[in-house]
């Protein structure tokens, strides 16, 4: 069995390391020659996952055809706003064999179109005539790369469009420390795992302001309310939001020291630097920033109230001081829970 993993960041590398327990070959595809050479030369990924040894059955390449040639499954682990462009390249590549599933592992929506990333995959494959030949799925949930790389117990959710044998791939993806559950609510899984990054940004801002556990619990709980409002309006199932993709990913992302969204939210409160300037200095993508834009646009389109999302957006894009945003949330009109 060969796995093609598109992306050489921390998550793609950690997941590839995990797959080496079962799969004969794992190939990472990247676009930076120096980084790819470093992975192959040192057997580590010093840029994104320093100190973690990689198995000899894992290698990296800048040649997409080489990565896809003979692959039994393709896993897309690139930033959300890059997914369409990458999958269009994959769909046009002659080395991609018929029947190979394409599974997205990025979290969020495409801001320009407000579409879920499985929809982006489906459209990109369809444009090249490959919609019926490649099952489309997602693998998402509470899964920090740093912990997966250290083989700490982790559980995620595998969901896909009809036509894929997702129970079969569940078996191949799962391992001694990495457990995949299937879920037939593809819409709910994608919305939940993308939206929680917005709340993690809010929690980080609150932490940066010196608030405590009461505030954190409030934001996470009311954040779940906003998630359910938007998720149900878009066709997700409410019970999904109480599972790994919803509550599980929300808790993990909001409290973890590994969470780049929580950490970025905290950094925003640390001085006078514009949030967009802070973002430009980040090596890793902060997906919650893009998801905030998408969620606010969707809420306006659907006429759904998302007060936390709106305040996070105003801090990130309108220059509102985080402390003012917190005060405005607390001073909203009183109402039943």
Exposed/middle/buried for residue 304 (C-beta within 10 Å: 0-12, 13-18, 19+): middle
Residues 6+ apart with CB under 8 A from 80: 106, 107, 108, 109, 110, 117, 194, 285, 287, 290, 291
User: Can 107 be counted among the known catalytic residues?
Assistant: no
Among the listed residues 2, 107, 196, 310, the single catalytic one is: 196
Tally of CA atoms within 13 A in the half-sphere of 70 that contains its CB: 8
Sign of CA dihedral 175, 178, 179, 183: negative
Dist CA 301 CA 294 (whole Å): 11
What does the H/E/C string look like for the chain? CEEEEECCCHHHHHHHHHHCCCCCEEEEECCCHHHHHHHHHHCCECCCECCCCCCCCEEEECCHHHHHCCCCEEEECCCHHHHHHHHHHHHCCCCCCCCCCEEECCCCEECCCCEEHHHHHHHHHHHCCCHHHCCEEEEECCCCHHHHHCCCCEEEEEEECCCCCHHHHHHHHCCCCEEEEECCCHHHHHHHHHHHHHHHHHHHHHHHCCCCHHHHHHHHHHHHHHHHHHHHHCCCCHHHHHCHHHHHHHHHHHHCCCCHHHHHHHHHCCCCCCHHHHHHCCCCCCHHHHHHHHHHHHHHHHCCCCHHHHHHHHHHHCCCCHHHHHHHHHCCCCCCC
Q: Which residues are known to be catalytic?
A: 196
């Amino acid at each position: 069995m060969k796995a093609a993993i598109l992306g050489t960041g921390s998550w793609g590398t950690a997941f590839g390391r995990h797959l080496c327990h079962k799969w004969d070959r794992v190939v990472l595809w990247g676009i930076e020659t120096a980084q790819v050479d470093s992975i192959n030369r040192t057997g580590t990924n010093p840029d994104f996952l320093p100190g973690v040894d990689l198995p000899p059955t894992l290698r990296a390449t800048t040649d997409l055809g080489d990565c896809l040639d003979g692959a039994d499954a393709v896993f897309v682990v690139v930033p959300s706003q890059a997914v369409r462009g990458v999958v269009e390249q994959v769909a046009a590549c002659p080395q991609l064999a018929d029947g190979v599933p394409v599974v997205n592992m990025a979290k969020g929506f495409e801001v320009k179109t407000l579409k879920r990333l499985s929809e982006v995959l489906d459209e990109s494959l369809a444009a090249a005539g490959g919609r019926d030949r490649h099952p489309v799925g997602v693998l998402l949930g509470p899964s920090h790369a740093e912990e997966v790389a250290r083989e700490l117990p982790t559980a995620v959710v595998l969901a896909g469009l009809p036509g894929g044998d997702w129970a079969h791939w569940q078996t191949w993806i799962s391992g001694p420390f990495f457990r995949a559950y299937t879920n037939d609510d593809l819409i709910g899984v994608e919305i939940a795992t993308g939206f929680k990054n917005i709340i993690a940004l809010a929690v980080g801002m609150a932490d940066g302001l010196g608030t405590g556990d009461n505030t954190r619990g409030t934001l996470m709980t009311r954040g779940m309310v906003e998630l359910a409002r938007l998720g149900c309006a878009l066709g997700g199932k409410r019970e999904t939001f109480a599972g790994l993709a919803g509550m599980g990913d929300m808790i993990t992302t909001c409290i973890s020291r590994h969470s780049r969204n929580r950490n970025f939210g905290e950094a925003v409160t640390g001085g006078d630097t514009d949030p967009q300037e802070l973002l430009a200095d980040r090596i890793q993508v902060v997906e919650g920033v893009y998801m905030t834009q998408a969620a606010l646009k969707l809420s306006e389109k659907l006429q759904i109230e998302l007060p936390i999302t709106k305040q996070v957006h105003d801090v990130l894009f309108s220059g509102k001081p985080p402390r003012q945003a917190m005060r405005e949330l607390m001073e909203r009109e009183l109402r039943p829970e």
